[in-house]
Homo-oligomer: A and B are copies of this chain.
Amino acid sequence: MLPIGKTTKQGKRSITANELVYAADALCTNLYHIVYTGLHLDLWGILERLDAGEIVIGDGGFVFGLEKRGYVKAGPWTPEATVEHPEAVRQLHREFLRAGSNVLQTFTFYASEDKLENRGNYVAEKISCQKVNEAACDIAREVANQGDALVAGGVSQTPSYLSCKDKAVVKAAFQKQLDVFMKKNVDFLIAEYFEHVEEAVWAVEVLKESGKPVAATMCIGPEGDMHGVTPGQCAVQLVKAGASIVGVNCHFDPDTCLETVKLMKEGLQAAKLKAHLMSQPLAFHTPDCGKQGFIDLPEFPFGLEPRIVTRWDIQKYARKAYDLGIRYIGGCCGFEPYHIRAIAEELAPERGFLPEASEKHGSWGDSLSMHTKPWVRARARKEYWENLKPASGRPYCPSMSKPDGWGVTKGARELMQQKEATSEQQLKELFQKQKF
């Protein structure tokens, strides 16, 4: 056993977490494969569920959740944790599954080749795009198989597009990820987090070739995409390109996202097109966002804590989404497992069951009837939580911020892809443009 272990600063022998965990993970993975070979799982697909009127609960965001847990770097936001720390990715998938998610997205956000090598990122070279995507598929499948969940392979917007590369170049990036998804046989595909419908359409076109069902979401608000295309028009273009499910994800809070999906719905109706609707908003309150969403807010990404939504905010969101006709209801950045559970609990009457994680959660706070302090037991009821206006505990802070409004979009010099890290000189110029 002695090859594992190293000498610490205190002069004592130790062993690293990773070394042991890798050994254990290898064992586990083998175990799962043995088990599943023996099972003949035959789950309903995404479209069969939606066509049957079922509610499909999505999962939450991985990059924000794993950043807080220590496995993702804010800035590049790339998913190399699938290779470097599979146990952490697996655990987060488990938590979402337990919270009620019916879809586990492969953790392949920003896993296109060009992003994995952008601005000094080492992943493309040291690990490789293919390995990151493959590991993501394996982990998602392992966990999905432990419950009633589908695996969705996801692609998202590329630096190549923002740098004005050819359509063919951009499509090739998507194709490379798709090849992995097909090899690993994911259940369906999602093109998500697009600011420009043009690029989203290209993505849908690529994914559609596979024959698998395709969902497409944009990270836009009611004002539409960065080129000024309205939500209604975006939805129409995506459906025409082959998406069976359309909606929004990320960039805006639940209320704003629902407003945008409503505009998409109206656009589809006007065009007499049919598609299922989907929403995966932020779990942050962003009433003060501009057109480009929460990235412009001064708090992004390391000061967003006071904006985190409560489970009760999410129950209201789930109800409104349902009432609007949306049936694929999930979350994005900021959504933690308990937020997903809140969707599942709110819609439990419609679905007829609670998620596993509700064994540790009473509806509308009723587990508080077990609290030691009587005034906390007195909060064990819906009326209390429904009406609470939670204080920030931050009297020296405002309640809204002015977003940065640089008005920079596709094609701007400062958005260009570059392999080398941002230089000191480049940073200096940016610091001068920033107000404080």
Q: Point out residues on A near B: beta carbons under 8 Å.
A: 1-2, 4-5, 8-10, 12-17, 20-21, 23-24, 27-28, 31-32, 34-35, 38-44, 67-76, 87-88, 91, 94-95, 97-99, 118-121, 143, 145-148, 159, 162, 253, 284-288, 295-312, 336-338, 341, 352-353, 356-357, 360-362, 365, 367-381, 383-385, 387-402, 404, 406, 408, 412, 414-415, 421-422, 426-427, 430-431, 433-434, 436
* Nearest CB of B to A309, in Å: 7
Residue of B nearest to A373 (CB): B295
Q: B376, A300: Cβ atoms under 8 Å? A: yes
Query: Do B302 and A311 touch (CB < 8 A)?
Result: yes
Question: Is B310 a contact partner of A308 (Cβ separation < 8 A)?
Answer: no
Chain B residues closer than 8 Å to A31, beta-carbon distance:
20, 23-24, 27
Whether A70 lies near B338 (C-beta < 8 A) is yes
**For the complex, would chain A's binding face be called helix, strand, loop or mixed by DSSP majority?**
loop
> Smallest CB-CB separation from A1: which chain B residue?
B38
Q: Known pairs A20-B32, A303-B312, A374-B406; list 6 more (Cβ under 8 Å).
A: A27-B28, A73-B367, A75-B376, A118-B370, A377-B427, A395-B395
Chain B minimum-CB-distance residue to A5:
B39
Name which residue of chain B comes closest to A119, CB basis: B370
Q: CA separation between A307 and B395, bound complex, in Å?
A: 11
The interface residues of chain B lying within 8 Å CB-to-CB of A375 are 296, 404, 406, 408, 430, 433-434
> 21 A-B residue contacts at CB 8 Å?
A5-B39, A8-B148, A16-B146, A23-B31, A27-B27, A67-B338, A67-B360, A68-B336, A70-B361, A72-B360, A88-B95, A119-B372, A288-B395, A301-B376, A307-B390, A369-B421, A374-B408, A375-B406, A392-B399, A395-B398, A396-B399
Q: Which of B14, B337, B369, B388 contacts A119 (CB 8 A)?
A: B369
Find out whether the CB atom of B34 lies under 8 angstroms from the CB atom of A1: yes
